[in-house]
Structure 1
Amino acid sequence: MKKILVTGANGQIGSELFVLSTSYPEFEWIFADRIKITLDNLELLKIQLNEIKPNVIFNCGAYTDVDKAETEKELAFIINYLAVELIAKYTYENNVKLIHVSTDYVFDGSSSSALNEEAETNPINVYGESKLKGELACLKENPNSIIIRTSWVYSKFGKNFVKTMQRLMLERDEINVVNDQIGSPTYAADLAQVLINIVRFCGWFPGVYNYSNEGEISWYEFALSIKEFGGYSCKVEGIASSLYHTPAKRPRFSLLDKKKIKETYNLEIPCYKKSLKNMFI
């Protein structure tokens, strides 16, 4: 029986994998929180991996606070770069399959067309820098690994844009949402299913892949869909990013081209509205 280790078990993707895991009893599932797998303590991490001895690792754990990373750069790089480097080295030396989750924030947002896996990377914030370093280390230390870049992740679990909008739409009569940052949301439950599908697929094809739900929208349009499915009466206004100041810059355009993952793993990717509606059910 294959033993699958899920790091970041309490995060959005990890939580959705936990829900799905009961449908896949052919695997032994190890869901590791920050105590069981300490991504910020590399010496301890080595010991923990050797004790667990997984056959597959879904590395969903990460430092994800984009704004806080600007002032906690060292910690972000330890978790998103050095821990990934260590995990990749361990998986290569022990013939363990590794799927590492990355982000659209490795791009600078200057494109005007969907970004494929070969598009030039140029992160514009510390979080993106740390994730790109993790990607490069992952590929260097374990060329057999799979990296999945995703974007705008949300779910019923953890902190995310959808839950923030739901709260604000209940609390306020009017909210402002940026309308000039373009991309596509990712329902964590959909991505979790993709990770499982890849492991169950008849072939293992290493490399970088993009995954998000289908659709090209702004955060403002995403908020309007949340309002629609939630039945909220709150007024939603679109504003320019320049009027909404954050410590970290965000890419203006980070729509991902999913052709490679769809063709390689025979996937049908649902439209963002269908997946968002599923979360509300």
Structure 2
Amino acid sequence: MVSSPHEAMHRIFQEYPELVSQLSGTLGLELPPVVSVEPVTVDLTETEPLERRVDTLLRIGTENDGPFLLVVEAQGKKDPGKTASWPYYVTYLHNKHRLPVLLLVVCQDHGTAAWAARPLTIGLPQWPTVTTRPLVVGPHNLPVITDVAEARKDLPLATLAAITHADNPDVDAILKTMSVALRDTPESVAGPIVEFIAQGLGNRPAAQQWRNLVAVDLSFYTSPLSEEIRDEGRVEGRVEGRIETCAEGALLILGIRGIEITDTTRDKVTGCDDPELLRRWMVRAAVVTTSDQIFDDEAPADR
């Protein structure tokens, strides 16, 4: 099953294709400035019953060097199958489109990045016929950005860096930097970034911190994530209201009926966070003869 971090690591290039040029310094490779971008189908299936798909495939136009195909693969862990599939992607696409092909692999941990960066060869050990050399970006070569001005200077690159550093011990500072950097950013720009980071964090503990930052620092902002957070808050508020009402109601009914409320009963009622259980106790409070009987499943109200 495709994970949300996997989607974020390659889909960010669909939203910000200029990233391929901005990564020149990181990759140690001079890439031409992007002047045009055209999405290409990611389906590499042939007539044989075997489906092959890349994560993201873009046709990149440049000013002086002509167009090339950019294949972006998000790699969450080592996968021996890529030894065969990555060279296939490159040779198939070159044969089909007659364009240079650049394979870029995005990782979130050092081990996977080191594994992905190894040249893949087809042929004899003494004479490789085809060699595929992926370019790899990840926590080993993308900066840890904790300076707001630096993040604002290049938000797409800062976003990719935040995604790839999802497991960094300083991820809290990275996320706080991003939330502050987005405060004065137009919603049309901030929108994809908020969602990409949420996807990239997956189910890591830092994902909850990002949700909190979006809810507080970006409270003005409307997005699927922020709306989900606000909906959760409204639901929690309604549940808390029911809990408070039922707890007060149970104790109030006992008091009106002149039934002595023991400390045990009061503590158990006020400490309960189950609204349905509190509702049952409140109903029983109208018929019991002692306060502790509201906890008895055989109380008259339940018959």
Query: Above 0.5 in TM-score?
Result: no
More helix by share: 2
Q: Which has the higher contact order (CA 8 A, sep 6+)?
A: 1
Q: Which has the larger radius of gyration?
A: 2
